């Protein structure tokens, strides 16, 4: 038992190496830009002040969203998704998978769970001992079930899911703007430094050392060194590497940020993009898509004034999600009626699952019509049989 515990501690310690690396790079970039470029290199005070103001704005938002992504604990399924004690004992004693599924199906009737495994079974985590809510997956690195899990990111040493997905997207956005601003403002000084470097390299390539020596001697003697060069200090190397690092990170982050913007617009996670969620009527890659504006609100919230700030504004609780069904599922209607108290059968669901949440899971389609005059009071459901 002790070796496994030690191994786990070592694994957790090593998992912080990417985070430390990112913070070291960011710390060096701050020093190189503020001290070496703005304070020691740029002669114009107006340009220096304007660069520092905008730089610190992007820097603060970048660090804020980055550490919010790191420090936000992944959201776990609520207690209502745990098996009751009686069903739990029956499930553990039962050895046949089919009988175990029957036990799970009885429990899941009162829960807002509409997705299944690829074989149509109820999604159950044998490690966390919970019925998995929609879009919930078990992270082997964090060793827990994470609501609306997107992926486990080593650069933040955390699972990206329902609790911090907005922070992660903002982290990508501000890190991209941070790198873009550095690369754009450093470019002119990078070119000034690169001029003398390319001159020296080209002279060596064409084997003209004599001309090079004469030219350098003339500069030193006459004092007419070109004005487009940086001061002869170590700031040159900081500027050179700062531009390359910023440009490299900008290109890599741009592709990742664009991909996650596409996911937000489609209301998908990275897992769902590679493997479509399976509903009772089959897989549907657009099962959770509600239109671009509502998809954006799912992640960033309804109040747009808070979208750009790394504060929690996402809609919902992560345990249930509105779905867009391609085909009507009568079982979902039955569950909704039971939850609302319209059925004479007792329902073990939690009282907080009102029909308003369930009605949103059902859309009109060719085989049935759904007329909703007052969600809280009256629901009329008509199902036409196929002729």
Point out the residues that are catalytic: 153
Residue among 364, 366, 363 nearest 385 (CA): 366
Phi, psi of 69 (to 5 degrees): -65, -40
Q: Compute the distance between CA of residue 53 and CA of residue 270 in angstroms, rounded to an integer.
A: 36
Q: Provide the token pair at 252.
A: 């890599």
Report the run of H or E that residue 379 belongs to, with start and end: strand 378-383
Classify residue 278 by its DSSP letter. E
Residue among 374, 322, 277 nearest 112 (CA): 322
- The residue assigned the tokens 């430094």 is 193
Question: Do 249 and 171 meet the contact criterion of CB atoms below 8 Å apart?
Answer: no
How far lies 167's CA from each of 65, 151, 373, in Å?
5, 14, 37
Q: Provide the token pair at 361.
A: 């899971």
């Amino acid at each position: 038992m002790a070796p496994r515990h030690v191994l786990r501690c070592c694994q957790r310690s090593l998992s912080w190496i990417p985070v430390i690396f990112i913070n070291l790079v960011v710390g060096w970039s701050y020093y190189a830009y503020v001290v070496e470029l703005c304070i020691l290199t740029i002669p114009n005070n107006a340009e220096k002040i304007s660069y520092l103001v905008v730089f610190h704005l992007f820097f603060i938002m970048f660090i804020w969203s980055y550490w919010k992504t790191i420090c936000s604990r992944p959201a776990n399924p609520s207690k209502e998704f745990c098996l009751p004690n009686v069903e739990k004992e029956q499930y553990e004693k039962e050895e046949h998978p089919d009988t175990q599924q029957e036990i799970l199906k009885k429990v899941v009737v009162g829960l807002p769970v509409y997705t299944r495994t690829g074989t149509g079974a109820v999604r159950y985590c044998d490690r966390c001992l919970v019925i998995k809510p929609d879009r919930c997956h078990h992270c082997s690195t964090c060793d827990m079930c994470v609501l609306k899990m997107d992926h486990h990111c080593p650069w933040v040493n955390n699972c990206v899911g329902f609790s911090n997905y907005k922070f992660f997207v903002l982290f990508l956005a501000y890190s991209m703007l941070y790198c873009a601003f550095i690369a754009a403002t450093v470019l002119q000084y990078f070119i000034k430094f690169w001029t003398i470097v390319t001159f020296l390299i080209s002279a060596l390539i064409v084997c003209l050392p004599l001309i090079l020596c004469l030219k350098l001697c003339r500069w030193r003697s006459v004092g007419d060194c070109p004005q487009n060069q940086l001061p002869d200090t170590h700031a040159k190397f900081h500027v050179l590497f700062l531009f390359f690092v910023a440009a490299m990170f900008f290109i890599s982050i741009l592709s990742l940020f664009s991909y996650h913007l596409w996911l937000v617009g489609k209301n998908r996670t990275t897992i769902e993009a590679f493997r479509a969620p399976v509903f009772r009527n089959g897989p549907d890659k657009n099962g959770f898509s509600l239109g671009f504006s509502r998809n954006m609100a799912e992640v960033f919230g309804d109040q747009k004034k808070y979208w750009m700030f790394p504060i929690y504004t996402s809609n919902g609780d992560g345990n249930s999600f509105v779905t867009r069904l391609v085909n009507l599922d009568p079982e979902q209607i039955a569950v909704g009626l039971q939850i609302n108290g319209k059925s004479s059968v007792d329902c073990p669901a939690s009282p907080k699952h009102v029909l308003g949440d369930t009605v949103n899971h059902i859309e009109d389609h060719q085989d049935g019509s759904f007329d909703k005059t007052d969600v809280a009071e009256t629901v009329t459901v008509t199902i036409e049989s196929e002729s």
